[in-house]
Amino acid sequence: MKHFKHEETVSLLNSIGENIFITNTDFDIVWINDYANELIEKLSEYILVESKEDLIGKNMSVFHKNNGESQRRILTEGSFPYESKIILFDRYTASIVINPFIIRDQIEGYVLTWKDVTVYEKGLTDINDALDQSTILTYVNDKGEITYVNDKFCELSKYKKEDLIGKHFKYLHVEGYSDSFYQEINETIEKGESWRGELCQKAKDGSVYWVDKTIVPFMSGRKPYQFVAIQQDITYKKEAEVMLRRSEKLSVLGELAAGVAHEIRNPLTSIKGFTQISTLPESNKQIMLDEIERINLIVNEFMMLAKPDQVKYQSNDVIAILQYVVNLLHSESNLKNVHFQMSNEEKQIFINCEENQMKQVFLNIFKNGIEAMPEGGVIRISVSIKEERVYITIADQGVGLSSEEIKRLGEPFYSLKKNGTGLGLMMTFKIIENHDGSYKIESEEGKGTILTLSFLKQ
C-alpha cells in the first residue's frame, strides 16, 4: 500500500470534506484523512481510541462487527461503488460508499467514504413517526399492489396488515366507480402530480367508510415507481351531510304539512261520509273507503311533522314500553308466524322520552320486521347498557336490504312496501333524533336486518 502515499494524493484526500478511510483487502485500516478526526472523537467512548493514529492497523469491523462479514462477501462478488447504511452502537447512523483502491490493475484495498447521517436519519424517522400516528397511510407499488399499511389504516378498515399486503388498491373500493374515474387518477399521477379526492371504501365487516385521499407519486426519471396515499377519515362528515339533507327535507315537509293538512282533512271527512251512505256496490265502496283511510293516514303523519316540538319528555321504563308494543302486536305476529324473543340486562331501564312517541317508534320498527318475514321467523330484541347509554338491538330474519336501500331509508315517499309512503320510517328516525338518540342499520340481502338504537340512560 506504500504506493498511494504520494504527497499530492495525501494533500488531496485531506482537503476533501468527507471522512475517508483506506483499508487493505482484509479491511485493516492503513490510512485516515484529517477530516475524520471529529468523527473518531465522537465515537471514541465506544471504540476506546483517542486519535486516528490509534486506529491504524485495526480492522474496520471494530465499528460494525455485525456487518463486516456480509460486506466482505458482497465486495468479493459485487459491483462498485458499493453503498451501505449501518447503525453504530445502536446510536449513530452512517452512510458508507466503498470503492476499490486499484494500483496497476490490481485491487490493493478499499477507499471508504463515510458520512454521519444520524441527525438526518432521526429527522426522517421523526417525520415518519408523526405521519404514522396522525394519518392513515398506504403504500402502493407501480403495479397497483399494496406494499404497506399503517396501524391507523387497519383500525379504520378492520383488516390485518397481512390481509392487505399484495392486494390491488381497488380491493377496498365499493362498487360503482367507473373506468373513467380510475383513468383520471392514473393520468394525474403518471404525470408526477398528486391526486386528491373523496373515496368510499368497504371495511372487512362490510360497513363502508369515507376517506379524503391524497395520492403522491414517487418518481424514477419520468415514471412513478411507488405511490403513497395519505388519508383522513371523513365518515362523520359524510354522515352529517346526509343528516343535513334529511333535515332539510323534513323542514320542507313540515312547512307543507302546516299549510295543507287541515285543508285536506276537512273535505276528506265529507267525502268519507258521503261514500258510506252512497248507493255504490259494496265492493266499490270498500275500495274507496280504504283509499280515503290511506289518505287520512298520510295527513296524520303530516300533522306530526307540523308539530314536532309539542312534546313533554319524562323518565320512562324502556323495557315496559317494548313489552307493551310486543303485546300489542301479539295477535298480528301470531297470524304471520312471527315470534318475539327479548333479553335485557336489568328488569327496568329508564330513558328520558315521550312515551307515546317511543311506542310509535317500536311499533313501526316491529311492523317492518314482521312484513320483512312473509314466511315467518323470529324478531330478537336485546337491551344493554354501556358507558351510560342504553342500546336496543332489534334483529329480524327477513329478506334483508342492499346497501343502496339502506342509504335511502327514511326518505319521504321512498318505501319498500307496495303501498308504503316512507313517512312512517321517516317519522321514526325523526323521533329518535329528537330524543338525542342515534340509530345504526346493518343488513345483508337474504340474511335479515339489525337495527341498533342508542339513548342516554337516566
Count structural domains, the chain: 4
pTM score of the predicted model: 0.43
**Same domain for 400 and 339:** yes
Kindly state whether residue 244 falls inside one of the protein's structural domains.
yes
> Looking at residue 3, what is its pLDDT?
46
In a domain, 401, yes or no: yes
| 136-141, strands of its sheet edge to edge | 146-149, 136-141, 223-233, 208-220, 195-202
pLDDT at 450 over 90: yes
Residue 378's pLDDT band (boundaries 50, 70, 90)? very high
Res. 78 pLDDT band, cuts 50 70 90: low
User: Is 175's pLDDT higher than 60?
Assistant: yes
pLDDT of residue 124: 46
Q: Is residue 128 part of a domain?
A: no
Tell me, yes or no, whether 9 and 72 share the same domain: yes
pLDDT at 244 over 70: no
| One domain, residues 96 and 38 | yes
Whether residues 76 and 162 share a domain: the answer is no
Instruction: Identify the domain containing residue 21 by its residue range.
Output: 2-116
- Assess if residue 127 is contained within a domain: no
- pLDDT tens digits for 276-316? 777 778 777 787 877 777 777 667 666 665 555 556 889 99
Q: Which residue among 116, 150, 165 closes a domain? A: 116
Q: Is residue 180 part of a domain?
A: yes
**Contact of 366 with 379, CB cutoff 8 Å:** yes
- Indicate if 183 and 94 belong to the same structural domain: no
Same domain, 36 and 87: yes
Same domain, yes or no: 336 and 419: yes
